[in-house]
A = this chain, B = another copy of it.
Amino acid sequence: MALIVQKYGGTSVADLDRIRNVAQRVARTYDAGNSVVVVLSAMAGVTDQLIQMAHQITDDPTKRELDVLLATGEQTTVALLCITLEAMGYPAISLLGFQAEIVTDQRFGQARIREIHANRIIDLLRQRKIVSVAGFQGRDPKGNITTLGRGGSDTSAVALAAALKADVCEIYTDVDGIYTTDPSICDSARKLDRISYDEMLEMASLGAKVLQTRAVEFAKKFNVPVRVASSFKEEAGTMVVEEEKDMERLVVSSIAYSKDEARITITKVLDQPGIASKIFTPIAEAGIVVDMIIQNTRQGGLTDLTFTVPRTDFQAAMAIGKEVARAIGAEEVLGDEYIAKVSAIGVGMRSHSGVAAKMFTALANENINIMMISTSEIKISCVIEEKYTELAVRVLHDAFELHKA
A53/B94 in contact, CB under 8 A: no
B83/A57 in contact, CB under 8 A: yes
Q: Is residue A72 contacting chain B, with contact meaning CB distance below 8 A?
A: yes
Min CB–CB distance A46 → chain B (angstroms): 11
Q: Is residue A280 contacting chain B, with contact meaning CB distance below 8 A?
A: no
Smallest CB-CB separation from A59: which chain B residue?
B87
Chain A positions 179-236 with a Cβ under 8 Å from a chain B Cβ: none
Chain B residues with CB under 8 Å of A87's CB are 57-58, 60-62
Chain A positions 110-154 with a Cβ under 8 Å from a chain B Cβ: 143-145
Q: Is residue A309 contacting chain B, with contact meaning CB distance below 8 A?
A: no
Interchain CA distance A83-B61 in the complex, whole Å: 6
Min CB–CB distance A243 → chain B (angstroms): 41
| A83-B69 CB under 8 A given contacts A53-B16, A56-B16, A57-B16 | yes
Interchain CA distance A68-B61 in the complex, whole Å: 25
Q: Render A141-181 as a binary contact track against B, CB cut-off 8 A, 1 for contact.
A: 00111000000000000000000000000000000000000
Chain A positions 47-77 with a Cβ under 8 Å from a chain B Cβ: 50, 53-54, 56-58, 60-62, 64-66, 68-69, 71-72, 75-76
Chain B residues with CB under 8 Å of A16's CB are 53, 56-57
B80/A54 in contact, CB under 8 A: yes
For A68, give its contact among B62, B66, B94 (CB under 8 Å).
B94
Chain A to chain B contacts (Cβ below 8 Å), 5 pairs: A54-B80, A61-B86, A65-B79, A65-B80, A65-B94
Task: For chain A, give the interface size range.
Answer: 35 or more
For A57, give its contact among B57, B68, B80 (CB under 8 Å).
B80
Taken together, the copies of this chain in the complex come to: 2
Chain B residues with CB under 8 Å of A61's CB are 83, 86-87
For A53, give its contact among B53, B80, B92 (CB under 8 Å).
B80
Q: Nearest 6 pairs between A and B by C-beta?
A: A58-B87, A69-B79, A68-B79, A72-B72, A62-B86, A65-B82
Given pairs A54-B79, A69-B83, 15 additional interface contacts (CB within 8 A): A16-B57, A58-B83, A58-B84, A60-B87, A61-B87, A62-B82, A65-B83, A65-B86, A65-B93, A68-B78, A68-B79, A69-B76, A69-B80, A72-B79, A75-B75
Interchain CA distance A296-B58 in the complex, whole Å: 67
Q: Is residue A98 contacting chain B, with contact meaning CB distance below 8 A?
A: yes
Chain B residues with CB under 8 Å of A84's CB are 57-58
Chain A positions 86-109 with a Cβ under 8 Å from a chain B Cβ: 86-87, 92-94, 96, 98-99
Interchain CA distance A145-B82 in the complex, whole Å: 14
Smallest CB-CB separation from A73: which chain B residue?
B72
Chain B residues with CB under 8 Å of A98's CB are 98, 143
Chain B residues with CB under 8 Å of A92's CB are 62, 65
| A68-B96 CB under 8 A given contacts A61-B83, A62-B82, A83-B62 | yes
Interchain CA distance A54-B57 in the complex, whole Å: 30
Min CB–CB distance A102 → chain B (angstroms): 14
Interchain CA distance A16-B83 in the complex, whole Å: 30
Interchain CA distance A58-B65 in the complex, whole Å: 33
Interchain CA distance A23-B84 in the complex, whole Å: 38
Interchain CA distance A75-B64 in the complex, whole Å: 13
Chain B residues with CB under 8 Å of A72's CB are 72, 75-76, 79
Min CB–CB distance A93 → chain B (angstroms): 7
